[in-house]
């Protein structure tokens, strides 16, 4: 935890956007692919369906749509952006960065663009970084993008993992704020000792991709689910308490908690431990599954467009992920609620027409 020193200016979210691909992969579809059932998946995870990107739709393509929506909501142009921080585990490729690819596609020619790897905790890390850069006056307008094409790194013959993940993108614009407004606290933590509970064994410099790696499916996600489950509940509780303490905000003052969407049972266990009522905790895992670094900004954009946050409300984000990484952030919301709430479903059908 790094408290914002006295005299450092504040930062807030001034625009949000999201995108999920049109193709829906249901539990019934998965029943035909692996030895599983709809009832097992719903009972053990809460997931009913997830979105899968087209073959010609890499992470950058999904991100561009989310970014356009975020810029529109903040009433900004691509040239207004000073920095683009992309948090992802599935960049289009490793060179150039996904952020540079997105920069080119949107024409954000004044920005410095780079990727940050913190797996599912990525959005919290991106927010923490953006807050520091705004606070120290290095930047005025930062785009934080969480985007994942997890379908490109999932083994669709492994029932332990393939039922969990989906694709999508979420974006937030971070700009300066008055003292005491916007991002009040960010807690960022990691424990590399636990790295092997969630990993992609091959494809990096330690073990470059080769035929043997592909044959062994070591280019896909390997996970020790049970262990991760326990780590998730413990770390999310811990970091949310830490961020609230740092922000000086009580649990009962929170209007909404937006957790990383990994498993409904993880969210419920965390909620029980924290004593937060269910109606304050946002879940959309039934529709999108686990979209890793995109899950919090996707959920945030949905609640913003539904008009569920108004200026002065306290909202918390909390996540865990591979690394192992975890973290939380507490905000005093500053964006005005939309005059006419826009249902996310409207967004999806508008895109289809």
Binding status of residue 40 toward ligand COA by CB under 6 A: yes
Task: Report, as residue numbers or ranges, the catalytic residues.
Answer: 120, 260, 290
Binding status of residue 274 toward ligand COA by CB under 6 A: no
| Residue 122 C-alpha from the chain's centroid | 6
Integer Cα distance of 146 and 59 in angstroms: 10
- What are the contacts of 199-206 at 24+ separation with CB within 8 A? 199/322, 200/89, 200/153
| Residue 247 C-alpha from the chain's centroid | 21
Cβ of residue 95: shortest distance to ligand COA, in angstroms? 26
Residue among 200, 72, 65, 262 nearest 145 (CA): 65
Residue among 333, 323, 334, 335 nearest 125 (CA): 323
Integer Cα distance of 258 and 130 in angstroms: 19
Integer Cα distance of 31 and 192 in angstroms: 35
Residue among 345, 346, 316 nearest 332 (CA): 316
Cα separation of the two ends of the chain? 46
Listed ranges 2-10, 218-226, 299-307, 340-348: which one lies at the site for ligand COA (CB under 6 A): 218-226
Determine the residue with CB nearest ligand COA: 225
Tell which one of 71, 120, 173, 276 touches ligand COA (CB under 6 A). Answer: 120
Binding status of residue 188 toward ligand COA by CB under 6 A: no
Cβ of residue 206: shortest distance to ligand COA, in angstroms? 21
Listed ranges 59-67, 220-228, 300-308, 344-352: which one lies at the site for ligand COA (CB under 6 A): 220-228
Listed ranges 98-106, 147-155, 219-227, 242-250: which one lies at the site for ligand COA (CB under 6 A): 219-227
Binding mask 144-163 for ligand COA (x = CB under 6 A): ---------------xx--x
220 versus 290: smaller Cβ distance to ligand COA:
290
Q: Find tokens 């997830």 and name the residue.
A: 50
Cβ of residue 156: shortest distance to ligand COA, in angstroms? 12
Element (H, E) at 146: strand 142-149
Binding status of residue 267 toward ligand COA by CB under 6 A: no
Q: Which residues contribute to the site for ligand COA (CB under 6 A)?
A: 36, 40-41, 44-45, 120, 159-160, 163-164, 198, 223, 225-226, 228-229, 232, 262-263, 290, 321
């Amino acid at each position: 935890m790094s408290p914002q020193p006295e005299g450092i200016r504040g930062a807030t979210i001034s625009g949000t956007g999201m995108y999920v691909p049109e193709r829906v992969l249901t539990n019934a579809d998965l029943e035909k692919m692996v030895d599983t059932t709809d009832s097992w998946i719903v009972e053990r995870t809460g997931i009913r369906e997830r979105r899968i990107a087209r073959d010609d739709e890499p992470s950058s393509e999904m991100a561009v749509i989310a970014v356009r929506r975020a810029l529109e909501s903040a009433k900004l142009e691509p040239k207004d952006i000073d920095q683009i921080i992309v948090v992802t585990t599935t960049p289009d490729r490793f060179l150039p960065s996904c952020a540079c690819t997105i920069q080119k596609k949107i024409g954000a020619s004044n920005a410095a663009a780079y990727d940050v790897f913190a797996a599912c905790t990525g959005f919290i890390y991106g927010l923490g970084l953006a807050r520091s850069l705004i606070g120290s006056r290095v930047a005025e307008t930062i785009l934080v993008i969480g985007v994942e094409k997890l379908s490109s790194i999932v083994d669709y013959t492994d029932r332990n993992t393939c039922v969990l993940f989906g694709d999508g993108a979420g974006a937030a614009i971070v700009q300066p704020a008055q003292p005491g407004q916007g991002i009040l606290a960010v807690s960022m933590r990691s424990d590399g000792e636990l790295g092997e509970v969630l990993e992609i064994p091959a494809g990096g410099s330690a073990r470059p991709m080769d035929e043997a790696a592909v044959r062994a499916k070591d280019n896909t996600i390997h996970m020790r689910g049970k262990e991760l489950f326990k780590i998730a509940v413990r770390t999310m509780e811990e970091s949310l308490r830490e961020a609230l303490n740092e922000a000086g905000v009580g649990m009962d003052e929170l209007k909404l908690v937006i957790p990383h969407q990994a498993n409904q049972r993880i969210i419920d266990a965390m909620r029980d431990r924290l004593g937060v009522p269910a109606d304050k905790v946002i879940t959309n895992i039934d529709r999108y599954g686990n979209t890793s670094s995109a899950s919090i900004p996707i959920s945030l954009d949905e609640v913003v467009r539904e008009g569920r946050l108004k200026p002065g409300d306290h909202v918390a984000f909390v996540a865990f992920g591979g690394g192992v990484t975890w973290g939380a952030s507490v905000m005093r919301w500053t964006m005005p609620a939309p005059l006419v709430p826009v249902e996310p479903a409207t967004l999806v059908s508008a895109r289809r027409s």
